[in-house]
Amino acid sequence: MSEVKLRRYHAAKWDEPFIMEQTVPGTRGLLPPLSPDEVVNAVGSADALIPAGIKRKAAPKLPELDQYHVLQHWLRLSQETMGMDLASDIGEGTCTMKYSPKLHDQMANHTKLADVHPNQPVEDIQGVLEIIYNLEQYLKEVSGMYKISFQPGGGSHATYTNACTVREYHRAHGNLDKKDIVITTIFSHPCDGATPATAGFKVATLMPDESGYPDLNALKALVEEYGERIAGIMFTNPEDTGIYNPDVAEYVELVHSVGGLCFYDQANANGILGIARAFDAGFDACHFNLHKTFSAPHGCEGPASGAYCVRQELADFIPTPTVEKGEDGYYLDYNRPKSLGKVRSYIGNPECMLKAYAWIRTMGPDGLKMTAETSVLNNNYLDKLLQQIKGVTRPYKDGFRFEQVRYSMDELTQATGVGTDDIRSRLVDFGIQSYWMSHHPFIVPEPFTPEPCETYSKEDLDYWAAAMRQSIEEAWEDPQFTMGAPYAQPIGRMMDTSIVDDESKWACTWQAYKRKNNK
């Protein structure tokens, strides 16, 4: 590794009160003119148009501020975050945090897309439909599949759509009363187990063998003992560990042998893009996160889109409508009598589709392949650097990993008490996003999972590894110091997080919070 100089950095800190506390009664940002009398006389008051049942009894308790102070408030808060494109996202493994071209934002903001209403007649939105239609053709080529639904509004939503498709398929074949088990693996994304459970299946999870592959013998035993009941399998490859399972065809064959369907979670396809296809590996369905692999931004930085791809045998069951091309142009096809119905309104998130479309057009077929090659190369370079750090281990088999790696810091923790939680709190002092540890449950103790996408240069990788090395070396020398980190951030340690373990206390909304806590 070339000599890396760690940057001096300190985040902004504002002692910013809650916006509710900044209210100045009577202040307004905008005062729209009242409707002229002729208009009111002609159509009546707007108030009368709202059904009585949904009218609120009291005005909402909104803060009263002018625009300048609202803007100032949010800008200050935004300065206290790491922001997008500001700090390296190399640590966000399994999230495929790649650069989202700003040009695509401009396109997506274009009035011809941004101002379109989904109920607009199809004649008006032929251009949008053409883009969606073409995107489908490209992704069919990339996956090998026959038909795609863009309706799911995210990756987990696409896996849920698959679980429902599996259900409808078995229902149509009269097997649903028997087939109640869906198999997944512990190192797949948790949605591959959670969504079939939501769709009504029992979920059986395979554990890793010594190499880190899902235990094939366990699958054989399951198929032998519960074959009749197996509805399908849903898993990733490579898994969270970055280990690619070369025997995946055998898993598929086993599940097929008892009439189960095989779903390949390709939310993150950066390891295999343009190189391997789910269809060729025998899978019945797969999905892509357009907001990851295909460059639409991921992680609360924009809406999401899970492109759900199926073989011909499953095409009858996917959600409606789909975009089709007819003699008179593009149209929305609702004619799918066995469809599972809708999983979301309308046709999905067109801005994500546009960004994915633009990205594919920019990259071209060779570019897609180069994406996978570069991310795998990046990852294995970073891997070399990280494996030299004392206290970092890489569980399971030797050899290369694909686009990400799950490491362990257990050695460091056992010796010093400093855990992965502490190290990630220190890492942010170098102007790097706090890394992601692992999905639950933690199979690998004290885990961390970097994923250096194709976006990153060698210098970026060197910098990330150097910051990790520095953070970990400090921990060996002075554990207390690391446990006190971060020092360059507006907020120190996360507050007591035990509340999330107590379902009687936590809440997703302010109202629910007040109710649960008797406030």
Partner 1 sequence: MKQLGLIVNPMAGIGGKVGLKGSDGEEIRKLAFSLGAKQEAPDKVIRALKRMAEAGHDVHIITCPGKMGEDEAKAAGYDPEIIDGIATEITSADDTKKAAEILMERGVDLLMFAGGDGTARDVCSVIGTDIPAVGIPAGVKIHSGVYGASPIHAGEAADMYLFGGGSMQLREMEVMDIDEDEFRKDRVSARLYGYMKVPFERRLLQSAKAGSSMSERATIQSIASDVISNMQPDEYYFIGPGSTTRGIMEMLDLPATLLGVDVVKNRQLIKADANESDLLGLLRGEAEGKTHVIVTVIGGQGYIFGRGNQQFSAEVLQLAGYKNITVIATESKMIGLDGKPLLVDTGDEQVNQDLCGYRMVITAQGKRMVYKVSC
Ligand X SMILES: Cc1ncc(COP(=O)(O)O)c(C=O)c1O
* Residue in 147, 167, 179, 189 binding ligand X, rule: CB under 6 A: 189
217 binds, among ligand X, partner 1, none (CB under 5 to 8 A by kind): partner 1
Q: What is d(CA 9, CA 487) in angstroms, rounded to the nearest whole number?
A: 10
Give residues 140-159 in contact with ligand X (rule: CB under 6 A).
Answer: 154-156
Which listed option, partner 1, ligand X, none, makes contact with residue 218 (CB within 5 to 8 Å by class)?
A: partner 1
Answer yes or no whether residue 492 interacts with partner 1 by CB under 8 A: no
Nearest-angstrom CA–CA distance, 166 and 359: 31
CB-wise, 11 or 304, nearer to ligand X? 304
Stretch that binds partner 1, among 81-89, 142-150, 412-420, 454-462 (CB under 8 A): 412-420
Under the binding rule (CB under 8 A), the answer on residue 222 touching partner 1 is yes
Total number of residues that touch partner 1 (CB under 8 A): 44
CB atoms within 10 A of CB 378: 24
Beta strands, E only, 162-289: 181-185, 202-206, 230-236, 261-266, 285-289
3-state secondary structure of 323: strand
Q: Does 204 bind partner 1 (CB under 8 A)?
A: yes
- Residue 45 CB-density burial (10 A; 0-12 exposed, 13-18 middle, 19+ buried): exposed
- Nearer to ligand X by C-beta: 375 or 416? 375
User: What number of helices (H) and strands (E) belong to the chain?
Assistant: 15, 11
CA-nearest of 194, 155, 146 to 306 is 155
Site string for ligand X, 292-321 (x = CB under 6 A): ------------x-----------------
Applying CB under 6 A, which of residues 107, 132, 267, 389 lies at the interface with ligand X? 267
Is residue 146 within 8 Å of 312, Cβ to Cβ? Answer: yes
Q: Given the complex with partner 1, which of 350 and 395 has the nearer CB atom?
A: 395
Tokens coding 431: 């102007």
**Contacts for 159 with CB less than 8 Å, ≥ 6 apart:** 189, 191, 192, 195, 234, 263, 265, 287, 306
Count CB atoms within 10 A of the CB of residue 317: 24
Q: Side chain identity at 443, as an amino acid letter?
A: I
Q: Which of 215, 373, 411, 474 binds partner 1 (CB under 8 A)?
A: 215
Q: Say whether residue 89 binds ligand X (CB under 6 A).
A: no
Cβ distance to ligand X smaller for residue 95 or 468: 95
Asked whether position 212 contacts partner 1 by CB under 8 A, the answer is: no
Q: Considering the rule CB under 6 A, would residue 260 count as an interface residue with ligand X?
A: no
Among 143, 162, 237, 268, binds ligand X (CB under 6 A): 268
Q: Which of 163, 143, 165, 440 is nearest to 293 (CA)?
A: 143
- Segment near partner 1 (CB under 8 A); pick from 52-60, 138-146, 290-298, 491-499: 491-499
Using Cβ positions, the residue closest to ligand X within the complex turns out to be 155
- Considering only the stretches 203-211, 263-271, 311-319, 452-460, report the one whose residues sit in contact with ligand X under the rule CB under 6 A: 263-271
For 80-213, where are the alpha helices, taking DSSP H only? Answer: 102-109, 111-114, 126-143, 155-172, 191-198
Angle between helices 350-387 and 126-143 (to 10 degrees): 40
Query: Residue 391 to residues 44, 109, 419: CA-CA distances in angstroms?
Result: 73, 47, 11
Q: Is 88 a residue that touches ligand X (CB under 6 A)? A: no
Site for partner 1 (CB under 8 A): which residue of 441, 508, 509, 511? Answer: 441
Cis status of the peptide bond prior to 321, with omega within 30 of 0:
yes
Q: Enter the tokens of residue 73.
A: 């408030």
CA dist 236 and 114 (Å) reads: 34
Using rule CB under 6 A, residue 191 touches ligand X:
yes
Residue 363 as a binder of ligand X (CB under 6 A): the answer is: no
CB 222 within 8 A of CB 204: yes
Does position 497 interact with partner 1 (CB under 8 A)? The reply is: yes
91 belongs to the binding site for ligand X (CB under 6 A): no
Residues recorded for the chain = 519
CA distance 168 to 398: 41
Binding partner selected for residue 191 from partner 1, ligand X, none, CB under the kind-specific 5 to 8 Å limit? ligand X
x/- string (CB under 8 A) for partner 1, residues 64-93?
Answer: ------------------------------
The entry of partner 1, ligand X, none near residue 265 (CB within 5 to 8 angstroms by kind) is ligand X
Tracing tokens 């933690």 back to the chain, one arrives at: 442
Output 80 or 421, the one with its CB closest to partner 1. 421
- Contacted by 268, from partner 1, ligand X, none: CB < 5 to 8 Å by type: ligand X
Query: Could you tell which of partner 1, ligand X, none binds residue 414, using a CB distance below 5 to 8 A set by kind?
Result: partner 1
Q: Which residues contact 398 (CB under 8 A, 6 or more apart)?
A: none
Q: Which of residues 382-411 bind partner 1 (CB under 8 A)?
A: 410
Binding status of residue 96 toward partner 1 by CB under 8 A = no
The yes or no reply on residue 242 touching ligand X (CB under 6 A) is no
Q: Which residues contact partner 1 (rule: CB under 8 A)?
A: 181, 183, 186, 193, 197, 201-208, 210, 215, 217-219, 221-222, 225-226, 410, 413-414, 416-417, 419, 421, 438, 440-443, 445-446, 480, 496-498, 500-503
Q: Which residues contact ligand X (rule: CB under 6 A)?
A: 94-95, 154-156, 189, 191, 236, 265, 267-268, 289, 304
